[in-house]
Amino acid sequence: MNHAHGMGSKRPWPFAVAGLASAALLFGTAELVSAFFGGSSSPMVAMGGSFIDITPPWLKDLAIGLFGTADKIALFVSIALVAAVAAAGIGLLSRRRPNAAYAAIAALGVAMSASVLSRPATGPLDVVPTIVGVFSGLAALAFLRPRAEAALQEGPVAIELRAEGGAPASSGGSGRRAFLAWAGAAALLAAAGTLAGRAASGVRNLAAATRDALRLPAPASPAPPLPGGLEPGIEGMPPWQSPNTGFYRIDTALVVPEVDPSTWSLRVHGLVEEEFTLGFDELLALELEEAWVTLTCVSNPVGGDLAGNARWLGYPVRKLLDRARPLDEADMVLSTSIDGFSASTPLEVLTDERDALLAVGMNGEPLPLQHGFPVRLVVPGLYGYVSATKWVVDLEVTRFDEKTAYWTDRGWSDRGPIKLASRIDVPRGFARVPAGSVALGGTAWAQQRGISGVQVRIDDGDWVEAELAAEASVDTWRQWSYAWADAAPGRHTVTVRAVDGDGEAQTAERADPVPDGASGWHSVTFTVE
C-alpha cells in the first residue's frame, strides 16, 4: 500500500520540463531558419503581429500607458509566458496520451503557419521556418518523453525500495540526471538558435548597410535658421531637438521592415487624373525641403513623453499630389506601409501650405530604420496614427466614406488633429528639491497654431504666467520656465495649462487617448525640503 501511495503521489514535473524544452527548441530552430527568409516568417513575430491586429483600442492604450515604448518587449514577454504554459501542458499531456500531445503540437504549427501567411508581404515559403521548428519540437518531445518517465522513477518509490533492499528503478539517480542534462541541452540549443538567428538577420540586413552608405542631397530649401533661446536652461529639461536615438517609437511593426532603397517605390493612384510610380533615386533627384516638425502619438497620456521634435528632409506631398491631380470627389489619402499599416489623412491637409513631407532624412542623416527608412510621411498638425506612415509604399487618393485605415477600423477617429497640450518636465513627480528658489519647466505644443502662453498654478494659488522660450515655428513644441521664489518646505503640487496661437486655452476636461487623443491639465506633486 505504501508503495502504491508513493507512486500515486509523484508530481510529473519532468514531463512539464520536457514540454518546455521542446517548445524552446521549436521556437529557437524557427528563429534560426527565419533569418534566411522574411522578418515576419518568425512564428513568434507573426503571432505578435496577429495579436496586435485583434487588439481592442482600450488594451492597446493600456499597454502603451503601462510600458510606453517598451510595449513590444512586453508583448513578446506575454507571448512567451502563454507559450510556456501551453508547452508545459502539452508536456504533461504526453505522459498518458503522447499521440494527443504530438497532435497538439501539429495543430499549433498549423495555427502558427496561418499567422505567418496572414502577415503582409509573406508567401508560402515563409512557413518553412515554422515547419522546421515544429518538426524539431516533435522530435525533442519524442526523445525527452521516455527520459522524463525514467527521471520520474527517481522519486520516493526508488528511495523506499533501496531502504528495503530492493532494486531501484534506475541506478544511482542517473535517470533524473540524464533527463535534466538532455533537457538542458535542448534549452541551450534553443538559445543558441535564437541568438544565431538574430545575428544572421543583422548580418543580412542590407537596408542597414545601404543606409550607412547613403549620402543625402543638400536641401533645395533648407530649414530657416533657428533663433536663440529655444531652451530655458533648466537642468533636467529634455533637449529642444530630440536626438534620433531618443525619439519615441510607437508603431505596429514587431520587426523593423528591411527595405532596400534600390527596390523601393511609391505608387500614387486612386481618384486622380494621372497615376504614377516614384523610385527612390527619382525622389532624391527632386527639390527636397527641410522643416522642423514636432510629432505626437495619439496614445500619449496627459503629461506623457510620446512626442518628439526633429528636422526632417523630404519632398512636399502637395507637389506629388499636384502631379497626380486628384478628382473633385476625393477627400482622403490612404497611405500604406510595406508591413500593411495604413493611415487616413484628409486630402486638404496634404494639399495646403503646411510642411507635409515625403521624408527621407531626420536630423541631418537618413531616416533610422526604426523610423521608416527609406521613406516615411511627416504631416504637421495630425497625430501619427492618421498621418506618419513609416516605410510608406502606397498613396491612394480616395474618400473617407469608401476606405478606412488600420486604427480607424479598430475604433479610433478617422482624422486625428493634434490637441493643445502642455506638460511639466521639471521637477519630476515625487522629486525632492531644496527650499528657496525652485525652477519649474516644461514643454507645450499645438502644431499648426503655435503656443502664445503658458500658465502655472502652485497648489491652490492663482494662475501665473510662465516665461516662454523662443519659438522656431508653429509646427514645433515650445519650452517654458517659471522661477518659484521662496518655496516653503512641504509637499506641493504644480499644474500647467497652455494657450495656443489662436488664443484658445487648454481645456481642463479629462479625456482618454481613445478615440482622438488625451486632454486635461498636467499636474506634478513634489516635496520641498
Average pLDDT over the chain reads 91
| pLDDT for the residue numbered 17 | 97
Name the more confident of 441 and 258: 441
Closest among 130, 107, 115, 100 to 37, alpha carbons compared: 130
Distance between CA atoms of residues 346 and 354, nearest Å: 13
Confidence band for 202, pLDDT divided at 50, 70 and 90: low
| pLDDT for the residue numbered 307 | 98
| pLDDT for the residue numbered 529 | 93
Q: In the chain, what percentage of residues exceed pLDDT 90?
A: 77
| pLDDT for the residue numbered 508 | 98
Chain-centre distance for alpha carbon 236: 26
159 pLDDT more than 60? no
Dump pLDDT digits (tens) for 388-422. 999 999 999 999 999 999 999 988 999 999 999 99
Q: Per mean pLDDT, which range of 109-113, 166-170, 179-183, 232-236 is the poorest?
A: 166-170
| pLDDT for the residue numbered 10 | 62
Closest among 447, 444, 439 to 522, alpha carbons compared: 444
Dump pLDDT digits (tens) for 126-158. 999 999 999 999 999 999 999 999 988 865 444
Q: Per mean pLDDT, which range of 203-207, 268-272, 328-332 is the poorest?
A: 203-207
Distance between CA atoms of residues 373 and 207, nearest Å: 8
Confidence band for 79, pLDDT divided at 50, 70 and 90: confident
| pLDDT for the residue numbered 154 | 61
What values do phi and psi take at 302, rounded to 5? -55, 125
Distance between CA atoms of residues 383 and 386, nearest Å: 6
Residue 74 grid cell? 512586453
Q: Identify the three-state secondary structure at position 407.
A: coil
Dump pLDDT digits (tens) for 504-515. 999 999 999 989
Name the more confident of 60 and 305: 305
294 pLDDT more than 50? yes
| pLDDT for the residue numbered 72 | 79
CB atoms within 10 A of CB 515: 17
| pLDDT for the residue numbered 172 | 39
Confidence band for 9, pLDDT divided at 50, 70 and 90: very low
| Mean pLDDT of all residues in 44-66 | 81
